[in-house]
């Protein structure tokens, strides 16, 4: 269903199978690099990577601020992955993607191919969505300020 919706928005999709493990490992090594193994275990990171956000181990935008940040950021080429899925989608011509495109999805991670930001939509109504950028505080604060104007 999601693939058909994305295609209808003009997104070019490539399904990735062979590089999945490398992409997931790079996501982990990039976005959770400062989270210790002990904390990962304590927040059940292996169950859901997004627990690092819900347990507030990463400073990120949440809920409507996260949605606005995702909607406004450059998205020419992104990866789309689900928690524990053997498949990842590489999406080109993705600037038209909006947070609402993923509202029916569960435990989905969208991130740019340079691994500078990630947007996560969870299966929990009270958790997320989350938006995290590698440029940390300055970008999060700037996105938060521009979202409130």
- As a whole number, mean pLDDT of residues 118-138 equals 87
Sign of the CA dihedral running 130, 135, 141, 144: negative
> What mean pLDDT is predicted for residues 101-116?
96
Assess contact for 110 and 79: CB atoms under 8 A: yes
C-alpha span between 147 and 149 (Å, rounded): 6
Domain ranges of the chain: 2-148
Residue 140: is its pLDDT beyond 70? Answer: no
Average pLDDT for 105-127: 95
Comparison of pLDDT for 48 and 143, the residue scoring more? 48
What is the β-pairing status of strands 117-121 and 108-112? antiparallel
More confident residue, 131 or 139: 131
Mean pLDDT, all residues of the chain? 90
Which tops the pLDDT comparison, 108 or 84?
Answer: 108
Distances in whole angstroms, Cα of residue 9 to Cα of each of 73, 96, 118: 17, 7, 21
Task: Enter the tokens of residue 31.
Answer: 């976005």
Asked whether residue 145 carries a pLDDT value surpassing 60, the answer given is no
Mean pLDDT of 89-116: 96
Who has greater pLDDT, 89 or 134?
A: 89
Reported as a single tens digit per residue, the pLDDT across 58-100 is 999 999 999 999 999 999 999 999 998 888 999 999 999 999 9
Q: How far is the C-alpha of 15 from the C-alpha of 21, rounded, in Å?
A: 14
């Amino acid at each position: 269903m999601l693939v058909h919706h994305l295609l209808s928005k003009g997104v070019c999709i490539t399904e990735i199978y062979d590089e999945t493990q490398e992409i997931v490992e790079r996501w982990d090594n990039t976005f959770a690099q400062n989270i210790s193994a002990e904390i990962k275990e304590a927040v059940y990171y292996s169950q859901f990577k997004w627990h690092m956000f819900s347990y507030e181990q990463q400073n990120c935008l949440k809920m409507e601020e996260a949605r606005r940040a995702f909607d406004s950021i450059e998205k020419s080429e992104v990866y789309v992955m689900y928690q524990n899925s053997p498949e990842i989608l590489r999406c080109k011509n993705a600037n038209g993607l909006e947070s609402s495109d993923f509202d029916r999805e569960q435990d989905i991670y969208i991130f740019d191919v340079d691994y500078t930001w990630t947007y996560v939509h969870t299966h929990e109504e009270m958790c997320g969505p989350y938006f995290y950028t590698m440029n940390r505080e300055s970008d999060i604060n700037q996105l938060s300020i521009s979202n409130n104007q």
